[in-house]
Amino acid sequence: MTGVLYGVGLGPGAPDLITLRAARLIERASVVAYPTLAGVASFARSIAADLIAPDAREIVMDVPMSVERAPAQEAYDKGAAEIAATLDAGHDVICLCEGDPFFYGSFMYLFARLSERYRVEVVPGVTSVTACAARAGMPLAARNERLTVLPGPLPEAELRARIEGAESVVIMKVGRHLAKIRAVIEDLGLTADAVYVERATLAEEVVLPLADAPEKAPYFSMILLTKGADPWL
Amino acid sequence: MTGVLYGVGLGPGAPDLITLRAARLIERASVVAYPTLAGVASFARSIAADLIAPDAREIVMDVPMSVERAPAQEAYDKGAAEIAATLDAGHDVICLCEGDPFFYGSFMYLFARLSERYRVEVVPGVTSVTACAARAGMPLAARNERLTVLPGPLPEAELRARIEGAESVVIMKVGRHLAKIRAVIEDLGLTADAVYVERATLAEEVVLPLADAPEKAPYFSMILLTKGADPWL
């Protein structure tokens, strides 16, 4: 019988923010899979490390960093082929995903390549969005409020227009786009409503008013911008 | 010593989508708190039922359904006072929240009333947004795509404008607003891209193309509208 591919969300980083379902699947897994980016140790694997059986086989997709798409596509093609062969041999494969598999997750590249040929189960995870809000003590949205999620790499003019028309805003993937995003928020007079969070729920976590954020931000950083959910019903 | 108030996200409904941290907190809790709406059994409590100790004290906030705000506000005032007295007596209180406490959660009403006087820890949970996407097999956002979360009760003209300017859209709290939302999506020519999900991850779950959705939707229903995250990098 053909195996099942599980795309398993591991949450924002703290190992105990893994769900019971994800933990059970990983503990029982004979094959796990995950990407590494340009040879750097996998964040997803580090979240789940204590749950992976010592004798589990690990399929590692080493995705190069490059401007062109082709090298990364090839890495996912190769990984998908290895996963497919494992499924064909009757083994389930547990793909480890930081956060949630369908929310800016690299699992989508495997899903696109394999979901028509194999049974795929996606296990949702806690996203960094609500984890950052929890750590910052900032409610995201109540009642009939809207929430907009924007990637930091968007062009400055688009960021500005999207933030202007929004209520609560979450800006993901801040990283090297911090200065640009900061300038937009400052220019809109919203700096006092903005909080900077990096590595939420990990020991190295940083939560600061945007005005006090460092000059350099890691990829796993986020800006929350909200005038505060209306809490009084 | 004063107790700590925990706002604990329980995820979308399946008990095994509770996080390890939330499960541990609930199992050890001597006091749990949760709202019920108009006397109907609490959904949050039902998700966590198997984890609650038989001798745990339960603080139930019965929130009436009414057009005026005052009766609901009074219910949260009364619940907050009971929780405060419990914290003052040195006991922690675990507040049970479906989904995530800061994402359209009633916990925000307690947070607003108590967070300045007491230590409050928020444990993020899996939201219905990513749970519905997982169940529908619909990636939400990849790369530099935007995601917009809209509450179904918004006026028709606003819904239309917000959907038109968006990429991936999630419409929450569909319930009795289904016909209005459907008409907007149909009018924008987007029905083929829309999926209807109710009670995601529960035994009674329904996942259907929007065109095949029932006439009546429960409160816990959602519409996902996406042209598909770009999966090829």
Q: What pLDDT digit, counting tens, does each position of B75-122 carry?
A: 999 999 999 999 999 999 999 999 999 999 999 999 999 999 999 999
Is the pLDDT score of A233 beyond 70? no
The predicted pLDDT at position A229 comes to: 55
With beta carbons under 8 A apart, name residues in chain A contacting B142: 104-105, 108
For residue B102, the chain A residues in CB contact (below 8 A) are: 130, 133-134, 138-140, 229
- Contacts B130 to A, Cβ<8 Å: 9, 100, 102-103, 124-125, 127
Contact yes or no for A108 and B14 at CB 8 A: no
Return d(Cα A13, Cα B228) in angstroms, integer: 27
Residue B141, pLDDT score: 93
**Mind listing the domains of chain A with CATH numbers?**
5-123 (3.40.1010.10), 128-225 (3.30.950.10)
Q: A227 falls in which pLDDT band (50, 70, 90)?
A: low
Alpha-carbon distance A47 to nearest alpha carbon in chain B (angstroms): 13
For residue A37, the model assigns a pLDDT of 87
Which residues, including other chains, have CB under 8 Å from residue B126's CB and lie 6 or more apart?
A9, A19, A100, A124, A125, A126, B9, B11, B12, B17, B19, B99, B100
Distance CA A30, CA A24 (A): 12
Contacts of B112 in chain A (CB under 8 A): 231-232
A99-138 pLDDT per residue, tens: 999 999 999 999 999 999 999 999 999 999 999 999 999 9
The pLDDT assigned to B79 comes to 97
Q: Are B127 and A131 an interchain contact pair (Cβ–Cβ within 8 Å)? A: no
This prediction has a pTM of 0.96
Distance from CA of B158 to the nearest CA of A (A): 11
Preferred mutation among B20, B181, B226 to probe A, highest tally of A CBs within 10 A: B20
pLDDT (0 to 100) of residue A39: 80
Whole-number Å distance between alpha carbons of A5 and A24: 15
Q: Is the ipTM of this complex over 0.90?
A: yes
Alpha-carbon span A76 to A113, nearest angstrom: 8
Mark the ranges of chain B whose per-residue pLDDT is less than 70: 227-233
Q: What chain A residue is nearest to B147 in terms of C-alpha separation?
A: A149
Nearest-angstrom CA–CA distance, A6 and B134: 11
Report the chain B residue with the minimal C-alpha distance to residue A66.
Answer: B233
What is the token pair recorded at A13?
A: 């980083």
Of all residues in chain B, the one with the smallest CA distance to A99 is: B126
In three-state secondary structure terms, A156 is helix
For A9-64, the pLDDT digits (tens) are: 999 999 999 999 999 999 999 999 999 988 889 999 999 999 999 999 999 999 99
Give the Cα separation of B162 and B169 in Å (integer). 9
Given a cut of 80, is residue A201 above it in pLDDT?
yes
Give the 3-state DSSP-derived string for B204-227, with helices as H, strands as E and coil as C: CCEEEEHHHCCCCCCCCEEEEECC
- Chain A: give the shortest CA distance to residue B115, in Å: 9
Q: Tell me how far apart the alpha carbons of residues A217 and B209 are, in angstroms, rounded to a whole number.
A: 41
CB-count exposure of residue A216 (10 Å: 0-12, 13-18, 19+): exposed
Kindly identify which residue of chain B lies nearest to residue A6, measuring between CA atoms: B134
Distance from CA of B162 to the nearest CA of A (A): 9
Phi, psi of B189 (to 5 degrees): 70, 25
From the CA of A16, how many Å to the nearest CA of chain B?
5
The CA angle A224-B104-B142, to the nearest 5 degrees, is: 55
pLDDT value of position A221: 95
Nearest to B231 among A108, A122, A138 (CB): A108
